[in-house]
Structure 1
């Protein structure tokens, strides 16, 4: 897929710059040609010699290289690539991009191009969360710049949170998504994933054991077939897939609102394990033990996201897929659920504790549609996702 593609890699400053060396190698492993551009700040963390040795070509560093500029080198550099990747992208570099500043080679290249740009941010968590950075991110997204990461984790400064550079494999995956032209090219698909957390008080909540692994794998597989994915996820235990639009939510009501905002779509796949109820008497303070006995919790029903979307008369996706996690009478319960909800397919599985499926690495599903039920053998969740993505692609092609 990346064989013969020309990637212009701009390496910004920051401790995460060392990962750019691994990214170069991974891109070359799949046949891509990488032309590196190293900023002055980037040179403080990786040397031009190491970058050049891995890329197998000269490193571009200076805007005023007289030999290159005699032929307007920065213009040629900016327009000869199939994709420009900025990794790591510092807060400073993104600010320059958002404001149209061009005072060094990297920022000039980014301003003088009509080539698509993919940005992988890396910075301190406070810098990432600062309103100025978030304004710049929003501006860049509005300008058509794509993002991969940042991810949550520990940082060199000792803090924890969003701001870590996406791993080289995830950046490569995001690049591959950009060049994919599969059977779902041009299709927009909503995928929900993970559990929801329904608060009892500020420190306690009601949830389930869903890891989000199956929904994440499915979003990745659909993206690999060329779909534009809106990935709406509760607090999952697995990282979201690279190269997709991620909407993070906590509660079922937040997820329902996010799904509504993501419509219209060609298909919607509801893999999330959404809580049926929420606590209507949730406290804004931590509940304490009391001699008066146990606290009294009152429950209200959460919005039925699957049924609401499946029974829409306006902007209903062409294909609506639900999931049914059952502990008994799997086929009977899931078949009834499909009819009750009004969705096109139900993906049913047995999540009894002895199966190890809930939160595990494997799945065994029954795909239920209007024409009947189809039992699939137990396999990895990635394999389930790939096969289901192919079925979705075939169905949308037929419906279209």
Structure 2
């Protein structure tokens, strides 16, 4: 079933970006109604918006359809109301409950989750009056999508750029989700480790971090306070998630030891190298002999440490990537490390493995083995968290 979004566009120079935003969200199976302030209509024509939504765009508070009170009726079945971009003027009106156009009147009448994505000059944004209005709206339960920093349309540099599409979409999804993990702390590791051989070379693996990032995103949507320890990956930071970078297995070990002290759930999805060179050359190793002999030593077993030093309330999940005997190896890992759950997947299975957007996993606990069909890593992240919450309830 389609979710109904109300999108309010205000008189910000970033209003033109709302056209692409609405186009993209329309492809995400949302039903969209658009309200514009009179100033917004000077930047973007209502006709261009109507062409995308196939629905009437409302501007004037008295622009009611026959037999309706539009600013009240339009929000009755709405799932979320987002003002994007939000100007300083409109935020001031919303903070004080001023309903002098269709957008502000409908916002006041709406009882659904409300979001605001500001976009304006950096000095307007940082002005004490604007910040007071933002605080007032936040205290009223309005969700804010933080603006970006960079070169603004006016030529100034600073905070005030409209957030990107992925950030806006994430916050809309957050608003539409229930939050069973609210008040809980989730610690996740993702990506590869790198072990230096010399100043030029390192030993690593093919992990891209996509699975761990997907779990972190899912945990955020479910309301958790999320910390993501990530190796060297090319993925963008997740808004609302505390990002903690690491390079080597020892880096990750120290990071997890510290962060795990306050975590309710720990999910070790990082691909941690089992060994590292015993000695790291201070200078680049030159190509001389036909063979290069390097002695490796074991890296710390981070999952075993976390399980052995857990608090009574912690739930800990590990991952097992195998090329053969997947279930047997994963069950042995679960028992040997005393984890609560192992997410097992095979590099040989189509749709699973490194660098894919999908995964095929088996969830293994001491009491149960659950084979899952191929699904997106985002959906798998939600399933993993659901099963871990069930373990905590038990």
Q: Is this a same-fold pair by TM over 0.5?
A: yes
Match of 1:22 in 2: 23
Structure 2 CA distance for partners of 1:108 and 1:171, relative to 1, 3 Å: same
Partner residue, 2:68:
none
Q: 1:320 aligns with which of 309, 316, 322?
A: 316
RMSD over equivalenced CA pairs, Å: 5.7
Bigger-Rg structure (1/2): 2
TM-score (norm 2): 0.62
TM-score of the two chains, using structure 1 as the length reference: 0.61
- Per-residue CA shift, 1:191-227, capped at 9, x if unaligned? 5253145474887655321123333444455566x44
Selected match of 2:337 from 341, 350, 354: 341
Aligned in 2, Cα 1:290/1:381: closer, same or farther, shift over 3 Å?
closer
Matched, 1:214 2:199: no
Could you say which residue in structure 1 is the equivalent of 2:104? none
CA deviation profile, 1:349-396 (whole Å, cap 9, x unmatched): 233699962223443433322236455566654564454344334434
- Call closer, same or farther: CA 1:58–1:350 in 2, change over 3 Å: closer
Report how far residue 279 of structure 1 moved: 7.7
Q: How far apart in 1 are the matches of 2:43 and 2:193?
A: 41
1:315 deviates by 6.5
The alpha-carbon deviation at position 307 of structure 1 amounts to: 3.5
Q: Is the 8 A contact 2:318 2:339 kept in 1?
A: yes
Residue in 1 aligned with 2:58?
58
5 Å matches for 1:74-113? 85-88=82-85, 104-110=89-95, 112=97
In structure 1, C-alpha distance between the alignment counterparts of 2:184 and 2:384, rounded to whole Å: 16
> Judging changes above 3 Å, is the alpha-carbon distance between structure 1 residues 374 and 393 closer, same or farther for their aligned structure 2 residues?
same
Q: How does 1:242-391 map to 2 (within 5 A)?
A: 245-251=240-246, 253=251, 257=255, 260-261=258-259, 264-276=262-274, 289=284, 304-314=301-311, 316-317=313-314, 319-351=315-347, 357-371=353-367, 373-376=369-372, 381=377, 384-385=380-381, 387-391=383-387
Cα distance in 2 for residues equivalent to 1:187 and 1:316: 14
1:99 equivalent in structure 2: none
What is the aligned partner in structure 2 of residue 176 from structure 1? Answer: 173
Q: Which runs of 5+ in 2 are unaligned?
A: 64-70, 98-107, 156-160
Structure 1: runs of 5 or more not aligned: 68-74, 97-103, 158-162
Change beyond 3 A, Cα 1:289–1:305: closer
SS at match of 1:360: coil
- Report how many residues are paired: 353
Q: Structure 1, residues 85-109: CA drift from partner, whole Å, max 9, x if none?
A: 34346xxx5xx6xxxxxxx234332
User: Matched residues in 1 for 2:350 and 2:34: separation?
Assistant: 52
| SS of residue in 2 equivalent to 1:22 | helix
Partner in structure 2 of residue 36 of structure 1: 35
Q: Does 1:9 align with 2:13?
A: no
SS for the counterpart of 1:118 is strand
Distance in 1, matches of 2:253 and 2:35, equals 41
Distance verdict in 2 for CA 1:47–1:279, change over 3 Å: farther
Pairing of 1:115-264 with structure 2 (within 5 A): 118-120=115-117, 146=143, 165-167=163-165, 171-172=168-169, 174-181=171-178, 184=180, 186=182, 188=184, 190=186, 192-198=188-194, 200=196, 206-220=203-217, 226-228=222-224, 230=226, 232=228, 234=230, 235-238=232-235, 245-251=240-246, 253=251, 257=255, 260-261=258-259, 264=262
Q: CA deviation at 1:165?
A: 4.0
CA distance in 1, matches of 2:144, 2:204: 30
Aligned residues of 1:361 and 1:380 also touching (Cα < 8 A) = yes
Tell me how far apart the structure 2 counterparts of residues 354 and 247 of structure 1 sit (CA, whole Å): 32
Contact kept, 8 Å, 1:256 with 1:303, in 2: the verdict is no
Alignment-derived partner of residue 101 in structure 1: none
Match of 2:391 among 378, 390, 395: 395
Give the Cα separation in 2 of the matches to 1:173 and 1:265: 23
Q: Distance in 2 between matches of 1:196 and 1:38?
A: 48
* Separation of aligned partners in 1, 2:118 and 2:299: 36
- SS of the counterpart of 2:242? strand
Contact kept, 8 Å, 1:232 with 1:248, in 2: the verdict is yes
Contact in 1 for aligned 2:219/2:385 (Cα 8 Å): yes
Distance 1:296 1:247, change over 3 A: farther
Change in Cα spacing, 1:13 to 1:388, as seen in structure 2 (3 Å) is same
